[in-house]
Amino acid sequence: MSSPNLNPTVPKSAPYGHACVGCSKAKSRCISRGSGNSCQRCHRMSKECRPSAVASKRLARRPASKTVRLEEKLDDLVTLLKTQAATKLLEQRHDLGGAGSDQQHTGFSSGLPTRAIGESLQIQSNEAIPAIPDISAEPSRLSEMSSVHTTPHSADSLHSLLLPPSQADEYLRTFQAHHLKALPFIHIPPELTAARLQRERPFLWLNIRALCCKSTLESDKLHKTVRETLAQSLIVDGERSVDLLLGLIAYLAWRMDHGKGKKILCTYSNLAASLVFDLRLDRSDQETPCKEEHAYKSFDYPIKQQVPTYRTNEERRATLACFSICSTISSFLKSQPMRWTSHMEDCLRHLANEAETPGDELLVSIVRIQKVMDVVTTLMHERLFESESHGPPKAPSILHVKALRLNLEAVEKGFRPEMSESKVVRSYLYDTYMMINNLALCSTCPPTNTFMLNELERTRCFYACIHAIKQGLDNWFSLTSGELFGASLGLLLHFGRYTHVLYRLAMREDPAWDRTAVRNAVDLIQTLERGAEHMGAVPEAVQFRSDASDFFTKCAMTLRGAIPIWQRALNGVDATLGTNPVAQSAVELEAPDVAPGDFMAMDFSDDAWLSEVFSTWES
């Protein structure tokens, strides 16, 4: 009997494809008993263990189709273009960012918005203006931007919106010298470069460039980009930032030829007011913002942290400027004005007491006047819907004239002499005086002894109205071409209101005033002609590159087009009433002995002329 094997071999299965013939046919596991020995199954069954001669064949790799090979080549080409674009963007960042990197903080936020505004700045036309990249992004972020937003056009177009530093700084200085003189909604220190402003406020910078561009074609494309960016960021992405608010204020204040007229004005002004609300700039943030409706949500969501109550002057200026421009638009559209809050009053008081720049004092003065105008707008709005109300009768709006007059006089007395001489402040004052008198001259209250001013008081308001219009027109015509180029929407609407009120007074027969005296006091037709000449001189003075399609040229053409229409209407009224203007030309209009604060004005509820201007600017 043989001795047992002291070192038995550990059983090991044959690798895949190397099983013996018997195990392969039986689909059994082939366990080897060592090199040169038969497998366990064949040894147990006393069968011949023959290794398998058949090995599994690998499928040959099929050649790629022409479509696949073409797609691979295109992918390689796109990757190469993306890399080149990212490299060039980094070079631009290095060149433009170096100058402003060492400057001190001047009130702008060091962080960018949560979403890069420039990513969505695209125009889908053959002459498209490419997206404005965020030049402060990290290299990896730049690569991501190029991969997501590369258009079918040349990859070099990604950075074509970047202006040379000298030209960009020129645009910024133009905006400071002209536009901010009319509505100082932001403080731009002299040392701030355009490159830094573009990094920190990309949407605001896009609006500044569109407003200061001297090419009408390029300006229209940039403003289209502004609207697309605003829709993408505000509506689609739900972004809320001070940058968006500042850019929207600039767009509302200086983009005059809005494509859809008054409707688009209302839309954008409501967007601006909603931004102020969503950013909580119109109220104090002392309460805990977490006010869930159901108690069980407290287990799902952690308690939110309180928002800091500190406000920067940049936020205060933006809030007050938004109120000012929204108030101007609501007075034109006869819509509900933006809500004034106690926190906004605190912001106004803070800027008045601790003004950092002369622009802060100007902004405070404008807002204080606009607060009075808001009351006038509210009263006019109530008068328009008097017939639809079913509640108790309200006091006639004419009874509010004296209180509003005293309120505006108090505001005017609070101005320093330098501010009282400001053309911008005077324009707002005269316009508000005019609109206050509107409540007296166009009152629709019943002729009772309780609710109606006597004819002497209405005549007094009439003379004060004419005096305010004359002063307002003299002040408006004193604006230089450069000042008119930077004039905000409010200043331009003031001229339209002056002429509109004159037209209504000259057309309306009323025992409280003499129509001929109106025409002798201010020649309406000559005023329109002067306005057309004043507007038409702006493009040449500021060196517009335009084919007569800019706003000022269009406005001059509209004013000249209104002259024969208004002249024909005035002559028709004269013929109907038997008035002979030549025979009565010697009638002099002498204002009564009233205080300077008594100058008022008339109705603006049926402004067909300005509506026509807004509807034809884009035609």
Q: What gap in Å lies between CA 32 and CA 11, rounded to an integer?
A: 6
- 575-593 pLDDT, tens digit per residue, is 776 655 443 433 333 333 3
Place 261 in a pLDDT band, splitting at 50, 70 and 90: low
Burial class of 15 by CB neighbour count within 10 A (0 to 12, 13 to 18, 19+)? exposed
* 369 vs 7, more confident: 369
149-155 mean pLDDT: 32
207-235 mean pLDDT: 91
83-91 mean pLDDT: 63
Q: What letter would DSSP give residue 51? A: B
Place 242 in a pLDDT band, splitting at 50, 70 and 90: very high
Q: What gap in Å lies between CA 118 and CA 136, rounded to an integer?
A: 11
Q: Is 136 left (phi over 0), alpha (psi -120 to 50) or beta?
A: alpha
* 256 vs 407, more confident: 407
Q: Judge whether residue 298 has pLDDT over 80.
A: no
164-168 mean pLDDT: 90
Provide the β-strand partners of residue 32.
12
pLDDT at 594: 29
* 457 vs 130, more confident: 457
pLDDT at 585: 39
Q: State how far the alpha carbon of 156 is from the alpha carbons of 87, 130, 226, in Å.
A: 11, 9, 21
Q: Judge whether residue 393 has pLDDT over 80.
A: no
* 127 vs 37, more confident: 37
Closest among 92, 112, 265, 166 to 615, alpha carbons compared: 265
- 467-515 pLDDT, tens digit per residue, is 999 999 999 999 999 999 999 999 999 999 999 988 988 887 777 777 8
Q: Judge whether residue 90 has pLDDT over 80.
A: no
Q: What gap in Å lies between CA 198 and CA 195, rounded to an integer?
A: 5
Place 615 in a pLDDT band, splitting at 50, 70 and 90: very low
Place 250 in a pLDDT band, splitting at 50, 70 and 90: very high
Q: What letter would DSSP give residue 236? A: I
Decide: 375 and 404 in contact? Cβ < 8 Å: yes
Helix or strand run (H / E) with residue 566: helix 551-577
Chain center to CA of 280: 18
175-188 mean pLDDT: 95
Q: What letter would DSSP give residue 13? A: E
Q: Judge whether residue 199 has pLDDT over 80.
A: yes
Q: For residue 489, give both structure tokens.
A: 């929407």
Q: What is the dihedral of CA 345, 346, 350, 352, to 10 degrees?
A: 20
Q: Judge whether residue 290 has pLDDT over 80.
A: no
Among residues of the chain, what percentage have pLDDT more than 70? 67
Q: Judge whether residue 248 has pLDDT over 90.
A: yes
Among residues of the chain, what percentage have pLDDT more than 90? 39
Strands (E), 67-207: none
Place 304 in a pLDDT band, splitting at 50, 70 and 90: low
Q: What is the DSSP string of 466-497?
A: HHHHHHHHHHHHTS-HHHHHT--HHHHHHHHH
Q: What letter would DSSP give residue 119? A: G
Q: Which of 133-147, 318-332, 434-448, 545-559 has the lowest mean pLDDT?
A: 133-147
313-338 mean pLDDT: 91
Q: What gap in Å lies between CA 476 and CA 463, rounded to an integer?
A: 20
Decide: 218 and 279 in contact? Cβ < 8 Å: no
Chain center to CA of 263: 15
Closest among 471, 470, 568 to 518, alpha carbons compared: 470
Q: Judge whether residue 21 has pLDDT over 70.
A: yes
Provide the β-strand partners of residue 215.
545
Decide: 267 and 234 in contact? Cβ < 8 Å: no
Q: Judge whether residue 240 has pLDDT over 70.
A: yes
pLDDT at 124: 36
Cα atoms in the Cβ-side hemisphere of radius 13 Å centred on 539: 18
